[in-house]
Chains A and B, each alone.
Chain A
Amino acid sequence: MLPSSLTVTLAITILGLLTVAAFLWAWRKGQFDRINDQAMLAMDDDDFNVARPWETVAQRAERVAAHGPTQLPAVPGIWGGAR
């Protein structure tokens, strides 16, 4: 263990400042730009083209308008976009 709390305090302060610097660097590099687009990372394109039985007519129309028409598995038993 480190010999005294003063050392530790200094180490934490330096570490904290480094973290802040890293955050600012990332900010300036634009890593946080258009951040809500990154929410799409979890989605696969065909996730939007599957009919969902709980959708209201309006919700379905909205989805189709944004992402194109609903697809169905071509053959039963083949998973298609349902994977």
Chain B
Amino acid sequence: MTRIWLLITGVLAIIVFATSLLVVIPNTMIGQVRVPSQLAPYTGQQARGRAVYVAQGCVYCHSQQVRDPVYTSDKDRGWGPRATVPSDYVYDKPHQLGTMRTGPDLINIGVRQPSDQWHHTHLFNPRSLMPWSIMPAFPYLYDVRDSSSLKPGEVFYSVAGGKLPTGKVIVPTADADALVAYLKSLKRTYPVPTGNEPAARSIGGRSEQTMP
């Protein structure tokens, strides 16, 4: 081959074709997804918690998707009543679908673990609840305090498993509270949206004014 322009044309054609097929066309199609009426947008605190989730890199060990029960055991493991669908993720930016399950899937963790106490002590040190866990501890999300120093009305948690000296408790930081609020909001148990609900709105480039 002697012509550079021929090479460049071919190279560009390849990438334009692939981008059209896997980015542009899906954008026009997925753009038609309806927002499920049962799925609320993240509150300010939940959105902050999601940012904490992203910044700590939780996605490298935790997926957020339930695959088709026909050929996976995701549903049978209790990770969700059905496979997740595109409309379950309309508010997720960036997506956190994940490609690794060193830990369990979290798309329905808000259903499985509704307890603040569980989440906080688990985040402070997962081995306080499960000695075999290999999840990192996140002590920097908590203030460790003497129980005598607590002010009235202050929320605190004691940690089991000998992970704190006696007399010490943990007080969640705002980031920890936000993260737990986000985790508790992860629920995709409503029926698959059919797109016919009265509250359904289209999202995507052409009707952005309807986005909440």
Interface, chain A (partner B; CB < 8 A): 1-5, 8-9, 11-12, 15-16, 18-19, 22-23, 26, 31-32, 38
Q: Distance in Å from the Cβ of A22 to the closest Cβ of chain B?
A: 6
Cβ contacts under 8 Å, A11 to chain B: 20
If A9-B25, A12-B17, A31-B6 are given as contacts, then 14 extra A-B residue pairs at C-beta distance below 8 Å, sorted by A number, are A1-B27, A2-B28, A5-B28, A5-B29, A8-B25, A12-B20, A12-B21, A15-B16, A18-B9, A19-B13, A22-B6, A23-B10, A31-B1, A32-B1
Cβ contacts under 8 Å, A26 to chain B: 1, 3, 6
Contact assessment for A1 and B28 in the assembled complex, using a CB-CB cutoff below 8 Å: yes
Bound together, the chains give a CA A71 to CA B182 distance in angstroms of 73
Bound together, the chains give a CA A4 to CA B9 distance in angstroms of 24
Contact assessment for A31 and B2 in the assembled complex, using a CB-CB cutoff below 8 Å: yes
Q: Which of A8, A15, A18, A32 contacts B24 (CB 8 A)?
A: A8
Q: Distance in Å from the Cβ of B166 to the closest Cβ of chain A?
A: 60
Contact assessment for A22 and B25 in the assembled complex, using a CB-CB cutoff below 8 Å: no
- B contact residues, total (Cβ < 8 Å): 18
Cβ contacts under 8 Å, A15 to chain B: 13, 16-17
Q: Distance in Å from the Cβ of A6 to the closest Cβ of chain B?
A: 9
Bound together, the chains give a CA A8 to CA B27 distance in angstroms of 11
Contact assessment for A16 and B13 in the assembled complex, using a CB-CB cutoff below 8 Å: yes
Residue of A nearest to B29 (CB): A5
Cβ contacts under 8 Å, A16 to chain B: 13, 17
**B205 sits at the interface (CB 8 A):** yes
Cβ contacts under 8 Å, B20 to chain A: 8, 11-12
Bound together, the chains give a CA A9 to CA B17 distance in angstroms of 10
Contact assessment for A2 and B10 in the assembled complex, using a CB-CB cutoff below 8 Å: no
Bound together, the chains give a CA A2 to CA B20 distance in angstroms of 10
Q: Distance in Å from the Cβ of B25 to the closest Cβ of chain A?
A: 5
Q: Distance in Å from the Cβ of A23 to the closest Cβ of chain B?
A: 8
Residue of B nearest to A19 (CB): B13
Bound together, the chains give a CA A22 to CA B5 distance in angstroms of 10
Bound together, the chains give a CA A32 to CA B206 distance in angstroms of 47
Q: Distance in Å from the Cβ of B28 to the closest Cβ of chain A?
A: 5
Contact (A18, B28) CB under 8 Å given A11-B20, A26-B1, A31-B3: no
**A-facing mask of B3-47, CB < 8 A → 1, else 0?**
100100110010011001100110111000000000000000000
Q: Which of A3, A4, A15 has the most CB of B within 10 A?
A: A15
